Amino acid sequence: MPHGRRASALHAPPSAPIAGRLDARALLGHSMLDGAFLRDPYPTYGALRDAAPLVWSDEFFGGAWLVSRHADVELVLRDARFSAQRTGGWVMRPVDAAHDDRHAGRSELKGFQRLFARAMIFLDAPDHTRVRQVMAAAFRPADLQRLTPRIEQVVAERLAAVDSTQTFDFVSALARPLPAEVIGLLLGMDVGLDDAEGDVPADVVAWSDELADFIGAPTPSRAQALSAQAALLAMARYFDVLLARRRAALGSGTEPREDVIGRLLQAERDGQIRGSAELLAQCVMLLFAGHETTRHLLANGLRTLLAHPQQWQQLKQDPSLLPGAVRELLRYDSPVQYTGRRVTTDTTLHGQTLHRGDLVVALIGAANRDPARHERPDELDITRRPAPPLAFGQGPHVCIGAALTLMEAQAVFAQVLRRWPDLALTEPAAPQWTGNALYRGLTALSVQCPSLSANAHTAAPTLPL
Ligand code: HEM
């Protein structure tokens, strides 16, 4: 890795573009990652896409190339010159200005790096191929079909628990807890530790949020890295105990279970999963990847639909539009806004040399609004039949949970439409974004059912005083 070059990029004064590179900050005339971007990144993406296919930004991980056009994002995700092994310089480099001791940072974050780097999403072939094969066996359509009625039931129970005669927060009522519960069912977390079937302890969800704060920070601080490490290691200890119980059950002759943990344990026995750290890393990653993404699809998606009442109406009249609508919501406002890759060998892209070790940020959110790929890209149109959006990535690392997500989101929106057809955003509806640049989502979404609220008011006088 060209350390000298990287260091100079890192320490360049913020407004000084580096010769020979088109610099994002200089091009935009301001910091890219400002509050306006975090609220609505699409105008900035548009400006980058129009100006140049490849720009440099010192605001991502100490310096990275950004690609924003659909064709380039696809290329970066598919081409083996761009490696998924990117955790080294990312996990190990956060430092605070007040505490600029890289060596101390390195040793105190070793536990984090060791576990994190083993997750499938950060592996290249042949290790990636080996682990992906094991995981793919646990995400077969038959497994998902088996889960569907249970997921529909969990959704129904969560919605039934809401007092919809009042304004309520859709994020805390459903979008935040549901995906973790679903992953719990998929993994088989209901077996071993918890008394309540399918329950994922609140701690696990909180740990996942700590990790999201770190992963979603383009320039994570040392404090964020240390909190994420504590959360990751706590999650690993949780799974460690769960896995030990499952191993003991297998050892005592209990029939192997066909959930994800069951399959991973079997693969560990067969030597396809190498060691308990590799196994742990996959469990932690699955829980995290499934929770932090789907929750935002549910909340961002509902907000987007309610902000387009005609399309909400259309869905009510024709629920068969739902599968296409969910894909369109993923294109329109993707919960995962970007991903990264490291350049494995000096490469020329758009006339610019990318050096081995450089980081490339593929702006998925920008690619999904590329007019070269999608007609009228800034319009929501639930009837469009687009090529699949890039929201789930592409190539060898394409999201393994995509089918599960689509099923879950359809179950939620179908039941919400049936139960609360006149649901509306509560005004004033200033969206409450998390401020996370990578995982675009809402901390709260206030909604109400005008008809139920009206009934509640008219019913009130008849109550005995
Ligand atoms: C709205 C929901 C979701 C979105 C937008 C999403 C998005 C993505 C994207 C963009 C990638 C590719 C990352 C890259 O190439 O660097 C990915 C990979 C992955 N996703 Fe998802 N995801 C979602 C839900 C889920 C769920 C529910 C699970 C698990 C149950 C999951 C597990 C994974 C895993 C394990 C990978 C890594 C695959 C590999 O490296 O081969 N995701 N996801």
* Interval 235-255 mean pLDDT: 86
Q: How confident is the model at residue 106 (pLDDT cuts 50, 70, 90)?
A: low
Nearest C-alpha to atom 23 of ligand 1 is from which residue?
293
* 77 CA closest ligand 1 atom index: 15
Q: What backbone phi and psi angles, to 5 degrees, belong to 439?
A: -95, 95
* 340 CA closest ligand 1 atom index: 16
Is residue 380 helix, strand or coil? coil
- The CA 54 to ligand 1 mean position distance, Å, reads 25
Nearest C-alpha to atom 20 of ligand 1 is from which residue?
399
* Interval 412-422 mean pLDDT: 96
Q: How confident is the model at residue 92 (pLDDT cuts 50, 70, 90)?
A: low
- The CA 289 to ligand 1 mean position distance, Å, reads 6
Task: Write the pLDDT tens digit of every residue in 356-389.
Answer: 999 999 999 999 999 999 999 999 999 998 667 7
Angle at 370 between CA 368 and CA 374, to 5 degrees: 80
CA distance readout (Å), 34 to 39, 224, 369, 435: 9, 19, 20, 10
- The CA 454 to ligand 1 mean position distance, Å, reads 42
- The CA 121 to ligand 1 mean position distance, Å, reads 8
Of 336, 323, 269, 353, whose CA–CA distance to 297 is shortest?
336
- The CA 288 to ligand 1 mean position distance, Å, reads 10
- Compute and round to an integer the Cα radius of gyration of the chain: 23
The DSSP 8-state label assigned to residue 254 in this structure reads P
For ligand 1, mutation pick of 293, 332, 436 (most atoms within 8 Å of CB): 293
- pLDDT at residue number 37: 95
- pLDDT at residue number 103: 53
Q: Are strands 64-67 and 359-362 parallel, antiparallel or unpaired?
A: parallel
Report the amino acid identity of residue 325. Answer: A
Name which residue leads in pLDDT, 201 or 400: 400
- pLDDT at residue number 2: 33
- The CA 223 to ligand 1 mean position distance, Å, reads 26
- As a dihedral over the C-alpha atoms of residue 436, residue 440, residue 446, residue 449, rounded to 10 degrees, the angle is -170
- The CA 401 to ligand 1 mean position distance, Å, reads 6
- pLDDT at residue number 15: 45
Q: Can you say how many angstroms the Cα of residue 191 is from the centroid of all Cα atoms in its chain?
A: 26
Is residue 64 helix, strand or coil? strand
- pLDDT at residue number 291: 87
Angle at 258 between CA 131 and CA 298, to 5 degrees: 75
CA–CA gap between residue 57 and residue 438 (Å, rounded) = 15
- pLDDT at residue number 259: 87
Nearest C-alpha to atom 41 of ligand 1 is from which residue?
397
CB-neighbour burial class of residue 271 (10 A; exposed 0-12, middle 13-18, buried 19+): exposed
* 122 CA closest ligand 1 atom index: 40
- The CA 448 to ligand 1 mean position distance, Å, reads 31
- The CA 379 to ligand 1 mean position distance, Å, reads 25
Nearest C-alpha to atom 21 of ligand 1 is from which residue?
399
* 282 CA closest ligand 1 atom index: 35
Q: What backbone phi and psi angles, to 5 degrees, belong to 54?
A: -145, 120
Please determine, for residue 193, whether its predicted confidence score (pLDDT) is greater than 90: no
- pLDDT at residue number 465: 28
Is residue 332 helix, strand or coil? helix
Residues within a 6 A CB radius of ligand 1: 77, 120-121, 132, 183, 186, 285-286, 289-290, 293-294, 297, 334-336, 339, 364, 391-393, 397, 399-401, 404-405
- As a dihedral over the C-alpha atoms of residue 141, residue 145, residue 147, residue 149, rounded to 10 degrees, the angle is 160
Please determine, for residue 459, whether its predicted confidence score (pLDDT) is greater than 70: no
Sign of CA dihedral 440, 441, 443, 445: positive
Residue whose tokens read 């100006």:
51
Q: Phi-psi bin for 393: left (phi > 0), alpha (psi -120 to 50), beta?
A: left
CA–CA gap between residue 36 and residue 43 (Å, rounded) = 10
Nearest C-alpha to atom 36 of ligand 1 is from which residue?
399
Of 259, 205, 274, whose CA–CA distance to 234 is shortest?
205
- The CA 400 to ligand 1 mean position distance, Å, reads 6
* 341 CA closest ligand 1 atom index: 16
The answer to whether the pTM exceeds 0.85 is yes
- pLDDT at residue number 460: 40
Task: Write the pLDDT tens digit of every residue in 48-69.
Answer: 999 999 999 999 988 999 999 9
* Interval 403-416 mean pLDDT: 96
Determine the length of the chain: 465
Nearest C-alpha to atom 40 of ligand 1 is from which residue?
121
Q: How confident is the model at residue 128 (pLDDT cuts 50, 70, 90)?
A: very high
Of 189, 192, 199, whose CA–CA distance to 158 is shortest?
199
Outline where 161-317 has alpha helix (H): 170, 177-187, 202-215, 222-251, 260-270, 275-306, 309-317
- The CA 293 to ligand 1 mean position distance, Å, reads 8
